[in-house]
Structure 1
Amino acid sequence: MGRIWAAAMYVVVPTSFGIRTIDGGFNWLHGLSVLTFCALTAGLWAAHKRNIRAHRSFMTGSYFGLIGSFVGVLAVPTRRIPQLAINDFPLLALLILVLLVTAALTVTGGVQISKSRTGNKTRASTR
Structure 2
Amino acid sequence: MTATYIHLSAAVWALLAGTSQLLGQKGTPLHRAVGWSWMIAMVVVAVSSFWLTGLMDVLWGYSPIHLLSIWTLICVVASIAAARKGNIRRHKAYAAGAFFGVVGAAIGTLMPGRLIHEWIFGAV
Q: TM-score range by the shorter chain?
A: 0.5 to 0.7
Q: TM-score, normalised by structure 1?
A: 0.63
Which ranges in structure 2 are unaligned for 5 or more consecutive residues? 1-33
Partners of 2:107 and 2:113 lie apart in 1 by 14
1:13 pairs, out of 42, 46, 50, with 46
Partners of 1:85 and 1:62 lie apart in 2 by 25
Give secondary structure in 2 for the equivalent of 1:11: helix
Q: Which residue of 1 aligns with 2:116?
A: 81
Partners of 1:62 and 1:87 lie apart in 2 by 30
Between the two structures, name the one with larger relative contact order (CA 8 Å, sep ≥ 6): 2
Query: After TM superposition, which residue ranges in structure 1, 4 or more long, deviate above 3 angstroms?
Result: none
1:4 pairs, out of 15, 33, 37, with 37
Paired residues for 1:87-102 under 5 Å:
87=122
Instruction: Describe the superposition over 1:42-70 as per-residue Cα deviations: whole angstroms up to 9, x where unpaired.
Output: 11111111111100111011111110111
Which ranges in structure 1 are unaligned for 5 or more consecutive residues? 89-127
Give yes or no for the alignment of 1:35 onto 2:71.
yes
Contact 2:75 2:98 in 1 (8 A): yes
1:58 pairs, out of 86, 94, 104, with 94
Partners of 1:39 and 1:4 lie apart in 2 by 15
Identity %: 36
Give secondary structure in 2 for the equivalent of 1:39: helix
Bigger radius of gyration among the two: 1
Give the residue type in structure 2 aligned to 1:21: G
Give secondary structure in 2 for the equivalent of 1:32: helix
Task: Count matched residues.
Answer: 87
Structure with the higher fraction of residues in helix conformation: 1
